Structure 1
Amino acid sequence: MKARDVMTSPVITAKATDLVVQIAKTLLERRISGMPIVDDKGKMVGIISEGDLIRRAEAGTERRRSWWLQAFVDDGTLAAEYVKAHGRTAADVMHRDPVTAGPDTPLHEIAALMESHGVKRIPIVEKGHLVGIVSRSNLIQAVAGTKMGLEIPLSDSAIREKVMERLNQQPWANTWRLNVTVDDGVVNLWGIANADTERQALRVVAETTPGVRAVNDHLMKEPMGSWA
């Protein structure tokens, strides 16, 4: 699946000149955790999330340090924190140059961007303009909406072929020590697994293969010192 398959569109946005208090109200009213900031032409210039609003003077949560800790912080950082806590407009508190993706970006890349950048949403941009947004909720919705199995039943031999094909694609799977049999859509796993995590992974590969109705685990754990 790609970003365009799960993204929310159109997106609730704000302008850089909008007041912070109004943006906070919109986040609450619309039950969203972030809002892209766009210019008059619809080009995204930043993004505001809940995290950008937790250190605010209105709530008495602005960052405070003891005098000796403050002595180790440069003036530029202190000034930026003051603007973040006291600024009145979106331009004062928004995160500039946010990470973005395109409509055809695969979902596994979207998930990787969220993890590597520590963000909860990825704006989707096409030709410089905001066209959607993918949040963690959208990814969970994609998981919840996945249809397991196929409408047309597969033969046992076809299921076995698919399971083995998927196992051969995994760098951790020692397929030379494994065997797979299938009986009426039920997969039987035979052989040796190095660890419980490998055993679990083998089961998941089989369970998520289209056409599989159930999985029986007959795997044995490699005995200690077997290679001595």
Structure 2
Amino acid sequence: MGIKNFQGNHVGKEAAEAEKITVRDFMTEDITTFKKGQPILEVMEALVKLGISGGPVVDEDGKLIGIISEGDCIKQISESRYYNQPMEATNVEDYMIKNVETVDPDMHLFDLANKFLTLKIRRFPVCHQNKIIGLVSQKNVLKTALALHGHNWKS
């Protein structure tokens, strides 16, 4: 009785290439960022207009300082009504998540998939030398895995 391999049956050269796929290969580079000091109402308008669920917040040097999501904005709406405070006086940094988990562009696809499972986060900013260079979501991983399955793994 031999050792079982639970990774599935790989197919030659194509499988070897699949093992080399990193975040850089499938991250989204065309991203919407928000700026420190930007009014929360502007952020909400952008999320709705662009049909996105959130985005990174950067300082004047382009360094990542947080991430804002629809949920963060909804929290602001709720607190605004509860505390009777005008939303116009609120900036993105008042509600953004400040302790942001990021990923390296050279992280392997399968390591990223595991990180999504472990941390239960929907998207990660991709940073290189403290600057954001892209965004990677669970959907990016799914699309890449489906493309690999069709070309590199036996069913």
Judge same fold: TM > 0.5, yes or no: yes
Q: Partner of 2:63 in structure 1?
A: 43
In structure 1, the residue matched to 2:138 is 136
- 1:137, distance to aligned residue in structure 2 (A): 1.6
The question of whether the paired residues in 2 share the 8 Å contact of 1:110 and 1:122 is answered with no
1:110/1:63 CA distance change after superposition, 3 Å: farther
C-alpha contact (below 8 Å) 2:27/2:134 kept by paired residues: yes
- The two structures have a TM-score, normalised by structure 2, of 0.74
Indicate which of 46, 52, 72 corresponds to 1:52: 72
What percent of counterpart residues are identical? 30
Size of the aligned set, in residue pairs, is 132
Go from structure 1 to structure 2 and tell me whether the alpha carbon gap of 1:63 and 1:88 turns closer, same or farther (over 3 Å shift): closer
Match of 1:23 among 39, 43, 54: 43
**Structure 1 unaligned residues grouped into runs of 5+:** 66-81, 151-207, 213-228
Q: Following TM superposition, by how much is the alpha carbon of 1:6 offset from its aligned partner in structure 2, in angstroms?
A: 0.9
Q: Which amino acid is the alignment partner of residue 111 of structure 2?
A: E
Deviations 1:108-160 (A, max 9, x none): 2222222222210010000111000101121122123235356xxxxxxxxxx
Relative to 1, partners in 2 of residues 1:149 and 1:21: Cα closer, same or farther, differing over 3 Å?
closer
1:105 maps to which of 100, 104, 107 = 107
Contact 1:20 1:90 in 2 (8 A): yes
Structure 1: how far apart are the matches of 2:81 and 2:25? 44
Looking at structure 1, the residues matched to 127 and 28 of structure 2 have their Cα atoms a distance apart, in angstroms, of 12
Which 4+ runs in 1 deviate beyond 6 A?
none
Where do 5+ consecutive residues of structure 2 fail to align? 1-20
* Aligned-pair Cα RMSD in Å: 2.5
State TM-score, norm by structure 1: 0.52
